[in-house]
Amino acid sequence: MLCSWTAAEVSVDGKRLYSDRVLRESVWVSRWEAYAREGRQPVALEGHQGSIQSLAVGIDGKVFSASNDWTIKVWRGTNGSHLYTLAGHTSIVLSLAIGMNGWVYSGSSDRTIRVWCGETGGFCRRCQSKRAMWIHWLPMKPGCL
């Protein structure tokens, strides 16, 4: 069985772990309960058409997953239901960060950083890099935005 993981994130309250999972041709986000009985299977959050590159969990419990399918999917952390999809990048979405104000920042191999409203999914702003090839990492300082 060919299986791999590339991203993981813990909920703010520490009760849930989210990880990507690739098994043959299937791709999904797994939601693991920290205090679940041994042997209990994770909840699968399915919907991406490509490998997952990054995961982020907001303070409101929403889960954000960035993918090779050029999108960011947003899930309700409590039950795993799909809320909406953020689309606009023109290549693989590689990185995610969430600001204290709830804005979501996504970095892509299209050399852009996009800013989204985490509450509504509305697009806010696009920043184009003239030097970087790909935006692999979006560090956030505590207290910033």
pLDDT one-digit tens code per residue, 54-103 = 888 888 888 899 988 999 999 888 888 899 999 999 999 988 988 878 88
Half-sphere exposure of 119 (CA within 13 A, CB side): 3
Name 107's bridge partners.
Answer: 95, 113
The tokens for 80 are: 């795993």
> For 109-136, what is the mean pLDDT?
77
- Cβ pair 125, 115 in contact under 8 A: yes
pLDDT one-digit tens code per residue, 88-100 = 999 999 889 888 7
The tokens for 104 are: 């979501």
Overall pTM surpassing 0.85 (yes/no): no
